[in-house]
Chain A
Amino acid sequence: MTILRRTISRRAFTAGSAGTLALGAPLLSRPALAQAEPLRIGWLAALTGPSSAPAVGFNRGVVYAVEAINAGGGVKGRKIELVTRDTQGDPTKAVNATQEMISAAKVHAIWGPTNSGEALATTPIMARFKMPNLHPCVVNSLIDTAKYPNAFRMAPSNSQWDDAVRGYVLKIVKAKKVAVIGDTTGYGTTAAGDSVTAFKKDGADVVYTAQIDSTQPDMMPDMLRMKNAGAEAIVMWSVSTGMAARMFNARAALNWDVPFVGHPSLGSGEVAGLIEKPANWEKVYVINYRSCSFDAAGKLPTRTQEFLDKSKGKIDLTNTLLWWVASGVDVIEIFAKAVTETGSSNSEDIIKFLNAQTKYPGLFGTYTWNTGEHNGFPTEEIVMGAANSSKDGALKLAPGY
């Protein structure tokens, strides 16, 4: 019988110890690294292209908030790293950017995209990876807690906009006969169709409805038809500022003072340059928000005013809307708070935090999310604003409030 004795030489011991240390070091130091690892927030922004105006506004708020938090020491010592990708409003580019953010950049949460066409393409991808996602897109189907438990809306949905417009027209303007028009885009057609159905359900007389080519040089034909039909208010669903301005000019040419109520684009600064005279923009009321509205005394809500005072000179508000900027600030602060309170940047923890928010006091809105409802913006905070009253990106409340 032979007994085999294995001895460990000094050289083998040294080599083995070094190897163990080398292999084990990353494991030992992981908690320390996680603490120092930046909090990466993906930002799918259509910063150029035909629908870039909102993202440019959101971006100002996002950049401001990131710089402010990082200057204050970051989130529990972790700097926020913004991973911005310009999607140009193109769903294909948005899909590519989403995949790159998740697989290569390893972001912890994603903000955006900011238009529904892109979001329809990216939302299922983010759901597959359980990526916490906040977005402001209005299409109703983008929020579904069963299919997309990771996706949260922090702006109103289309039906909330529709409810607010309809409420203003029927209860405050007290119009009985309504004309509802949209442009010929997918959004214009759907929004106008839904609006007509809802008006009819509420007992209103929809005397005229049409899809109008937004490049049509003369809007007089439709204005004449609406006037002849006896419309007491015109509800308009279009993002085309050219179409809006032509409508207002045609209304003035007819000496008709019917009010226009509708999409925020009717109040875009671009319209000001396209109307033939400033008076043509009177009696145009657009979707706006309590937080970004001047009251009768010309004052903004205290929280908004404090933000404006604090950010004065740091954010350009001359050619954008305040609610876009405010939303951008809110998103970054919400993600930062999620990591601060849970002490983790894991997807599950961020989603759990979002699902537990009741009346979260944001700059733009008071958000409430839970496991059964991811439409976080309260309808009562949607109001109509006077389109031609923009100052610092905020509007005066429309008459009647």
Chain B
Amino acid sequence: MPAPMPDISRQYQRREQLTMLALAFPALLMILLLVVLPVGWLAWQSIWHDGFTLENYRRILAEDIYWRSFALTFEISLTVTVLAVLLGYPIAYAASIVSRGWSIVILALVVLPFWTSVLVRAYAWLALLQRTGVINQLLRQLGLIDAPLALVHNTFGTVVATLHILLPFMVLPLYATMQKIPRDLLQAGASLGAGPVLTFWQIFLPLSLPGVLAGCTLVFVLSLGFYITPELLGGGRTVMVSMLVSRNVELYDQWGAASAVGVVLLLAVAAIFFVVSRFVPLDRVLGQR
């Protein structure tokens, strides 16, 4: 039997693969150094203290404060996510249907707060919401309340400030998705007899769902790990997971315990993504289709 001809396209392919690998190398190195190694070190710390130990994890499971903190963190994140959809969807919708000039104005207003630091914005909310703050004083002068409302140093204040900071992460992916919905489809809906309400529910809303999911994922994950805002506006009573981590390190010098909390949070998020991805094609939602 004659030997098969060597396929020169094979050689070409191999060369191309090497080029791609070389181009991706700096990014891979960066991820290895800045993500894989630290996370690995974190996991290692949580199970190694003069020998293998699960003491840190046992404590998380056993102690009430950890449970409550995790529950509170998820509760706040979920609240923030739901509110962000409710507030962000109309903003993104408005930006996607008005003329180009106005949509730039709307988006600029959404993104503008990004230019101030998170710390400054948290203090600004403190000034607005505290007992002698602008809102309480205004309400009292109007005679609507007798005693100042507790707007801050609790879950409410934390949710308000976190929502404010994370809203752009909801609006921008929503706007990106909505803007790509062909206007033809809405015109077609109208021409086929559907009024504005039906056109919205049957055509616009379903086609904007990928943006809703992308925004929810971003906001939820980011608020899970929020630190400065709940620290300042929670007033010590709203202890989120990130604060447990920092306290373990700063107050008790317990690196192992802090690492264990971090690992549990990471696993929880991974589990959530896994469950969600069973129902929703996340790769299609988050990536370019």
Chains A and B bind each other: no
